[in-house]
Structure 1
């Protein structure tokens, strides 16, 4: 999100970040980046007045729930505004894989049509079809939308992480392998795939790893650790739950190997990209590696079976040659796949082209127009009903 906002600011555009969410203590200082902050309300006509006066040229919705909430109001009051959906990841795929995993207990890269064609998917794909353009972080998800849901290519744009350049000077300052110790896993505990990864490590993977490498420790980092996570802390087993990391790059740089045993999920994995920049090789699953290298193969160890995962982790930890080769390939991938300049330029060109031919774009998307007609009415009536209900009911003390 920050990369997208910075991309827009680089065009000398006026950028406004409007959100109904409570402000987190960990939030970024957006005004310092030249970005205005505005608080908006759900199911409230005050947004109509705000957007009517603002008359933006482009509106971007942060995931499909925000498109559902606000797109009909934007279309009503700013019909010429380009509407862009930032999917972050294809959440209906993540949910389908989660259900697949619950049924099998195995790494869920695929999902049956029954699980994939869910109510969740109907809402998310409808939002994609209603929008003028949807930003997709993974080429695997673009392919799935086209193959399984018949979404037209002109509605989708490949937009992976857009990251700062990694220079040789920066690489030279990274710790050498001999200065790095232990394993690390990092990820928000409120994200179901991350919590499952920690449990899989605790219950199955780490006991096998610790038996092979008794001197090694696993450092578990992540925001919002619940009591059930901190209770897993066990120094005798080398399983150390550290919680919030003040500097994610620092804790990844200090580790020799990054573990990302994800059994379900979607999108690209920030923890793996952070490890690339830190020069810390990773072991992950097929779910973790999906889409990370674009159309190429992920250049570091991948394993879905516990014994294979542990074997790869042990070899990567002990073998200096394997470690160095994985680190260098990681640097190469970071530079080739996640260039800010390359992807920012491509995004601005795409937005500019669609904006210049907006009516033609919309005429070619009759399904989207039909969905906007019907869902706009249902969303409008539901929002107005909630607003009227809120006016009648006194606020809770």
Structure 2
């Protein structure tokens, strides 16, 4: 093992913590490994963006890499990482075989972000106007790819306890290959509310979310067409501000100030906007994982309304920091009540703090994660010996993906 532990993260995109919850989670992971003494290199085939974080500020080396190019092999042999973390299964598909071939001793960790197959299957069921059933996952094409990726890796980070159950019960994945890791936050105290704007100092409803993420676009459509008219009927002065990175023209066309519906575009500081809002609205109809926007609302002392899918696996058995309902009329009525009832609003704030402290404490998860990874580094052979299906998939994938990639590389040179 190297004297200095090295972690290579291969990113689907460069982290944008101000644009998406995925970017924020990636920065949390970097912080955890840095605190444990890892040297961290972040590589990605993505183009630079105007909103990507400056990784050098966090002591992380940045490296641009190419898909289907053997230059990656030279890079990883020279770096010789102890641990490689793949950002989503698509990245493991592209680079996992190269890591296994060139650095076979490196521990391979997959950060699923959320279960893509769950999000895809739910979206399909929604568009086909039928009830989603867990058995749908078994015929989902994305599931075959995603579960194969989980099996090929030594450890997969799973953000939702509901998704842990799916992997255990539906796909029969060995618990040794999975690690439950929600968003990581610092502890809060009710005295923290004193540093936040008071009920009387806040105004407007707010929605915030990256529009490259289909569930967010669908949520805004749902708000505009079905829920906002009901809220305005009961509360004519109501204002909704919709923020989000990468709004398309179809999003911008929903801007309708005369009806109190404002498309605001990218938030320069999402935290500040949510702190000043009175209530967060998130009637999410399909999706997976945990909803960063709802955790952020709790941290900002801002009550929220969402659906059962929105709140899924987010609050244990604790009371929500607002309301959870799938009924649009009840959603609208409760939104107005929460906006106008100071006592209810302040109790919802306290509920949010209890959820943050119970479910997302960094101290509960960070040290266990690094201990698990360090144990794997010391006992990888034995661990892999007990993951026969993973070894089998690695063997066949290394052959098939390797030669497909080499064919593409040769084709690109001609």
> Taking structure 2 as the reference length, what is the TM-score of the superposition?
0.91
In the alignment, does 2:117 pair up with 1:92? yes
Name the stretch that deviates more: 317-326 or 188-197. Answer: 317-326
Counterpart residue number, 1:226: 248
CA distance in 1, matches of 2:317, 2:108: 28
Which of these residues, 290, 296, 304, is aligned with residue 268 of structure 1? 290
CA distance in 2, matches of 1:24, 1:386: 26
Aligned partners of 1:99 and 1:115 also within 8 Å: no
Distance 1:270 1:116, change over 3 A: farther
Counterpart residue number, 1:20: 45
Aligned partners of 2:137 and 2:143 also within 8 Å: no
In the alignment, does 2:318 pair up with 1:293? no
- Unaligned runs of at least 5 residues, structure 2: 1-25
**What displacement does 1:179 show?**
0.9
Which of these residues, 126, 144, 148, is aligned with residue 122 of structure 1? 144
**Root mean square deviation of aligned Cα:** 1.4
CA distance in 2, matches of 1:238, 1:82: 52
Deviations 1:303-349 (A, max 9, x none): 11111211221221121121111110101111222222322111111
CA distance in 2, matches of 1:372, 1:295: 39
In the alignment, does 2:186 pair up with 1:164? yes
Counterpart residue number, 2:59: 34
Counterpart residue number, 1:44: 69
Deviations 1:22-76 (A, max 9, x none): 1111111111111100111100000011111111100000000110011111111
Counterpart residue number, 1:244: 266
**What displacement does 1:390 show?**
0.2
CA distance in 2, matches of 1:338, 1:148: 26
Counterpart residue number, 1:305: 327
Aligned partners of 2:158 and 2:181 also within 8 Å: yes
> Taking structure 1 as the reference length, what is the TM-score of the superposition?
0.95
Deviations 1:199-241 (A, max 9, x none): 0010010000011111110000001111111111111100011
CA distance in 1, matches of 2:45, 2:65: 5
**What displacement does 1:172 show?**
1.4
Counterpart residue number, 1:192: 214
Which of these residues, 121, 127, 135, is aligned with residue 102 of structure 1? 127
**What displacement does 1:100 show?**
0.8
In the alignment, does 2:205 pair up with 1:205? no
Counterpart residue number, 2:83: 58
Counterpart residue number, 1:353: 375
CA distance in 2, matches of 1:117, 1:259: 33
CA distance in 2, matches of 1:165, 1:38: 34
Counterpart residue number, 2:169: 147
Which of these residues, 399, 403, 407, is aligned with residue 381 of structure 1? 403
CA distance in 2, matches of 1:194, 1:141: 20
Aligned length: 389
SS at match of 1:304: coil
**What displacement does 1:134 show?**
0.1
Aligned partners of 1:100 and 1:115 also within 8 Å: no
SS at match of 2:324: coil
Distance 1:364 1:296, change over 3 A: farther
Counterpart residue number, 1:395: none
In the alignment, does 2:388 pair up with 1:366? yes
In the alignment, does 2:102 pair up with 1:77? yes
Aligned partners of 1:92 and 1:116 also within 8 Å: no
CA distance in 2, matches of 1:98, 1:127: 22
SS at match of 1:301: strand
CA distance in 2, matches of 1:343, 1:37: 26
Aligned partners of 1:183 and 1:257 also within 8 Å: yes
